[in-house]
Each structure stands twice: as structure tokens, then as C-alpha cells.
Amino acid sequence: MSRCLVLNASYEYLSIADRWIDALTLVLSKKATPIEEYPEVVRSQREDFRLPAVVVMNRYVKTRRKVRLWIVPTRKLVFSRDGFRCQYCGTGVNMKTGTRDHVQPLSRGGPDVLANVVTACRDCNGRKDDRTPDEAGMKLLSQPRSLTESEKIQCLLKTCRTKERDTWLECLTRIGVRLG
């Protein structure tokens, strides 16, 4: 069965319910409202229920976990944010050929957060070595930064099944969430 995209009351990404029963439980307990449903139906002894595809929480949920999820500079997040382009020379990279580069090197006290990491090709990362871009005589095409809300959702959509992606994209577009 299909997963469900769970949005906070502010329509920000909250989580993905991997099991359909968890999403349906949120709806039946009146904790969330479905804004998109899959065509599949599950049946109890007395009722039929359509499976929720996207739900929005009825009350705002405070969470610290989601903040950490979007701060850690994973390859997927960094490459997605930077458009799979080396931020020094502009060369296109993929998950195998690209590297992450800490603008302020870790060995010199730089933090391991999205706001300090950029996509780099192997040549540029080797040339920069353990120096700052200024010290290496290299210029960044764009400054590293945290992800916007739409970039967070785009990154999620790139990693989900086609059926889910199409349903979620259609719903997000309909409710006015801009992606890109």
C-alpha cells in the first residue's frame, strides 16, 4: 500500500507515514484532515475508507527532530540544493562523481551544516584541499545556505515512488505550495 505525506498545520513538511494504517489513524482520531486520497479503499466490518495520500495536522506540532533532518549536509540534500553542479567550476556532477566540500574546512573549525557545505567536482575539491576558497584562489558560484521549504519538499519528492510523487505533486500544486 502507499505512504502518506504528513504536513503540519502550517503546511510545512512534518513526516511521511510509511504505513497506511498510521495515516488513517491520524484521520479517524481527528488529529489530521486528508487533503488528498488514493483511489484504494480499505474495508472494516461496517465501513469503507479511502487511503489518505496527503494529510494536514489539525493542530501545530512542535518538533525538534525535523530541524536536524534539514541541517545535516547529506549528499542528497547538498547536491539537490546546488542543482548537481560544482559550485566552483559549474561542471555537472552525479551521486558517483560529485563530492561535498566544506567551505570553511572541518579541520579548521568549520561546522558540518548545510550552510557550510557545497557540491564540488573531484578536481575542484582536490585543488581547494584544506583551505578556504579565498586561500585557494577559487570563487564560489553561490554561497551555501539552508534549504527553503519548497526545496525540502522537492528533495523528498525526488526519493519517492512515481505514484506517490504524482499524487503529492498534484495536491501540493492545488493547495498553492510552490516548488521551484
User: How high is the pLDDT of residue 119?
Assistant: 97
Task: Give the full edge-to-edge strand order of the sheet including 48-57.
Answer: 13-17, 4-7, 48-57, 32-43
Q: Hey, what's the cell of 43?
A: 474495508
Confidence at residue 112, expressed as pLDDT on a 0 to 100 scale: 93
CA-closest candidate to residue 120, choices 107, 134, 103, 145: 103
The secondary structure element, H or E, covering residue 154 is: helix 149-157
Instruction: Please give the pLDDT value at position 179.
Output: 66
pLDDT along the chain (180 residues), means of 10: 88 89 96 96 95 96 71 87 95 96 96 95 96 96 88 76 85 79
Give the pLDDT of residue 180.
58
Query: Domain coordinates of the chain in residue numbers?
Result: 4-66+156-174, 72-136
Give the model's pLDDT for residue 79. 92
pLDDT for position 69: 67
From CA 17, how far away is CA 120, in angstroms rounded? 34
Write down the pLDDT at residue 14: 87
Question: For position 147, what pLDDT does the model report?
Answer: 85
- Cα 82 to Cα 77: distance, rounded to the nearest angstrom: 9
CA–CA dist 137, 135 (Å, integer) = 6
Q: Which CATH architecture has domain 72-136?
A: Orthogonal Bundle (1.10)
